[in-house]
Amino acid sequence: MSNEGKKVRAHYRGTLDDGTQFDSSYDRGEPLEFTCCAHQMIPGFDAAVKDMKVGEKKTVHIPCAEAYGERREDLVMFFPAAQVPNIDQIHVGDKLALSGAGGQPVPVTVVEVTPEGVKIDANHEMAGKDLNFEIELVEVLG
């Protein structure tokens, strides 16, 4: 029976191919609650949970195309210093938000600050990375 469209609760542990853990609901002590196949999760995670049964555990490898997508160089942008308010308070690694289409915030990371301006990266921090998940379906809420 499919979980598509149903609210579910799942525990997971996410790792990169080198074994580095990047996230874990187990560490937080609370399963993740989401509606399966409602675009609340990355496509590969939804696909993995879609046909799981309560209590089932599985390990899945999700290629970047089914996770956060390929890294895109067109999402790395440079803004001249004259266009950057408070440039003296901006540092490499800072997380900022630009205003996107319709005024939606777009999270970006500062990758370079020079007297000439600021270079930002709007790629998701996991873009271009294959991901691995250990998933346990805890509950199907309906």
pLDDT tens across 22-54, in order? 999 999 999 999 999 999 999 999 999 999 999
Ranges of each domain in the chain = 6-69+126-141, 73-121
For residue 21, give Cα distances in angstroms to 11, 12, 45, 116: 14, 11, 16, 37
What is the residue whose two structure tokens read 């900022």?
A: 96
* pLDDT at res. 50: 97
Residue 133 — pLDDT band, cuts 50, 70, 90? very high
- Please state, in angstroms and rounded to a whole number, the distance separating the CA atoms of residues 75 and 123: 6
Fold topology of 73-121 = Thrombin, subunit H (2.40.10)
* pLDDT at res. 98: 86
* 109 in Cβ contact with 93 (< 8 Å): yes
Residue 13 — pLDDT band, cuts 50, 70, 90? very high
What pLDDT digit, counting tens, does each position of 91-129 carry?
Answer: 999 999 988 878 888 899 999 999 999 999 999 999 999
CATH architecture of 6-69+126-141: Roll (3.10)
- Please state, in angstroms and rounded to a whole number, the distance separating the CA atoms of residues 135 and 109: 29
* pLDDT at res. 103: 85
